[in-house]
Amino acid sequence: MAMKRMVSDVKSEKLAQELKDLETRGDDELKDRWRSLYGTKPPQKIHRSLLIAAVAHRMQENALGALKSSVRRHLVQAANNPANPPTLTALPEPTS
C-alpha cells in the first residue's frame, strides 16, 4: 500500500507542476494542447485565461476522473433552478 501511495503522490505532484506550467506556455502551445485533449480546434476568439482553465480542467479529468453523470445532472438542475436545488443524499461512511 505504501508503494501505491508513493506512486500516487508522484503523479499528483507531476499533475500539479504541469498545471502550474500552463501559465508559462505560449498561445500556440495551449491551442495544440486543447486539440490533443478535446479532439477539436479551440474556439477562434477564446480568451487566454479560459483556454488555460479548459485545458487544466480536462487534464485533471483525465488524471483524476470526471464527475459521474448523476452529479453533473444535479449540478445542472441546481444551476437552472437556484431557488429550489435538488436534494443530494450522503453516502454511508465506509467501514474498515
- DSSP strand E in the chain: where? none
What digits encode the pLDDT tens for the residues 46-66?
999 999 999 999 999 998 888
Closest C-alpha among 68, 73, 34, 71 to residue 54: 34
List the grid coordinates of 21: 506550467
Through-space distance between the first and last CA atoms of the chain, rounded to whole angstroms = 15
Q: What percent of the chain has pLDDT over 70?
A: 83
Domain ranges of the chain: 2-80
pTM assigned to the model: 0.67
- Contact yes or no for 58/92 (Cβ under 8 A): no
The Cα 12–Cα 63 span in angstroms is 9
Q: Which amino acid is at 76?
A: V
